[in-house]
A and B are shown apart, each in its own frame.
Chain A
Amino acid sequence: MSVFGLNDVSVRFGGRRRSVEALRGVDLVIEEHERWGIVGESGSGKTTLLKLLAGLEAPTSGSLTFFDAALDLRRRETMAKLRSSVQMVFQDPRGSLDPRMTIADIVAEPLRSPLLRGRGDVPRDRAARVDEVLEAVGLDRSAKSLYPHEFSGGQRQRIALARALAPRPKILLADEPVSALDVSVRAHVLNLVNDLVDSMGLTLVMVTHDLAVVRHTCDHVGVLRHGQLVEVGATGEVMDHPRQAYTKELINAVARLDV
Chain B
Amino acid sequence: MSVLRVRDLTVSFGRRHLVAVDQVSLDIEPGQRLGLVGASGSGKTVLASTIIGLLPDNAHVDGSVTFDGQELTTLPDREFSAIRGKDLTMVFQEPMTALDPTMRVGRQAAELVALHSESSQGTTRQLVVDVFDRVGLDQASRIVDAYPHELSGGQRQRVIIAMALINRPSLVICDEPTTALDATVQAKVLRLLDEELASVDAACLFISHDLGLVASLCSDVAVIHAGRIVERGRTEQVFHHPSHPYTAGLVATASIDKVRPGERLPVIEDFFDPSTVDSAPPSESTNRPHRRIRRSR
Residues of A within 8 A of B (CB): 41-42, 153, 182-188, 190-191, 194, 209-213, 215-217, 219, 235-236, 240, 249-250, 252-259
Smallest distance from the beta carbon of B284 to chain A beta carbons, Å? 20
Give Cα A210 to B257, complex, Å. 11
Docked pose: A211 CA to B182 CA in angstroms: 12
Chain B residues whose C-beta falls within 8 Å of the C-beta of A191 in the assembled complex: 264-265, 267
Verify if B213 is at the interface (C-beta below 8 Å from A).
Answer: yes
Instruction: Please judge, given known A-B contacts A191-B265, A209-B182, whether A256 and B40 are in contact too, CB under 8 Å.
Output: no
Contacts of A41 in B (CB 8 A): 182-185
Are the C-beta atoms of A188 and B267 separated by less than 8 Å?
A: yes
Given contacts A209-B183, A210-B183, A250-B184, are A257 and B251 in contact (CB under 8 A)? yes
Contact A257 B183 (CB under 8 A): no
Q: Considering only CB atoms and an 8 Å cut-off, how many residues of chain B contact the other chain?
A: 37
Closest-CB distance, B92 to chain A (whole angstroms): 18
**A residues in contact with B209, CB < 8 Å:** 182-184
- Give, as a whole number of angstroms, the nearest-CB distance from A138 to chain B: 11
Give the chain B neighbours of A188 by CB distance below 8 A: 267
- Return the contact of B257 from the options A42, A187, A212, A240 (Cβ within 8 A): A212
CB contacts (< 8 Å) of A257 on chain B: these are: 211-212, 215, 239, 251, 254-255
Which of A186, A216, A235, A255 lies at the interface centre, i.e. has the most chain B CB atoms within 10 A of its CB?
Answer: A255
B253 contacts chain A at the CB level, 8 A cutoff: yes
**Sample of 15 more A-B contacts, CB < 8 Å, known A183-B250, A212-B257:** A41-B183, A42-B153, A183-B39, A183-B209, A184-B39, A184-B250, A187-B253, A188-B267, A212-B256, A215-B256, A253-B186, A255-B210, A257-B239, A259-B212, A259-B215
A-B contact count (CB 8 A): 98
Contact A215/B257 with A253-B187, A255-B187 known, Cβ cut-off 8 Å: yes
A182 touches B184 (CB 8 A): no
> B205-217, CB under 8 A of A: which get 1 and which 0?
0000111110110
Q: A256 and B257 in contact (CB under 8 A), knowing A183-B211, A187-B266, A209-B182?
A: yes
B183 close to A253 (CB less than 8 A): yes
Interchain CB contact (< 8 A) of A258 among B215, B266, B267? B215
Q: Spell out B's residues near A (CB within 8 Å).
A: 39-40, 153, 182-187, 190, 209-213, 215-216, 239-240, 249-251, 253-257, 259, 261-262, 264-268, 296-297
Alpha-carbon distance A153/B40, docked complex (angstroms): 10
Residue of A nearest to B256 (CB): A212
Tell me the interface secondary structure of chain A in the complex: helix
CB distance from B216 to the nearest CB of A (A): 5
B182, B240, B267, B296: the one within 8 Å of A187 (CB): B267
Alpha-carbon distance A187/B255, docked complex (angstroms): 10
List chain B residues, Cβ under 8 A from A183.
Answer: 39, 209-211, 250, 253-254
Q: Are the C-beta atoms of B185 and A255 separated by less than 8 Å?
A: no
Q: Check if B187 sits within 8 Å of A42, measured CB to CB.
A: no
Give the distance in Å from the alpha carbon of A212 to the alpha carbon of B182 in the complex: 14
Q: How far is the CA of A210 from the CA of B40 in the complex (A)?
A: 19
- Looking at B40, B240, B250, the one whose CB has the most chain A CB atoms below 10 A away is B40
Contacts of B183 in A (CB 8 A): 41, 209-211, 250, 253-254
Given A182-B39, A191-B267, is A42 in contact with B182 using a C-beta cutoff of 8 Å? yes
- If A183-B209, A187-B266 touch, whether A217 touches B182 (CB-CB below 8 Å) is no
A240 to B296, CA, bound (A): 11
From B41, which residue of chain A is reached at the shortest CB distance? Answer: A152
Assembled-state Cα–Cα distance A106/B209 (Å): 30
Chain A residues, Cβ within 8 Å of B256: 187, 190, 212-213, 215-216
Q: List, in ascending order, chain A residues with CB within 8 A of B185's CB.
A: 41
Q: Which residues of chain A come closer than 8 Å to B255, judged between CB atoms?
A: 257
A137 to B76, CA, bound (A): 51
Contacts of B240 in A (CB 8 A): 258
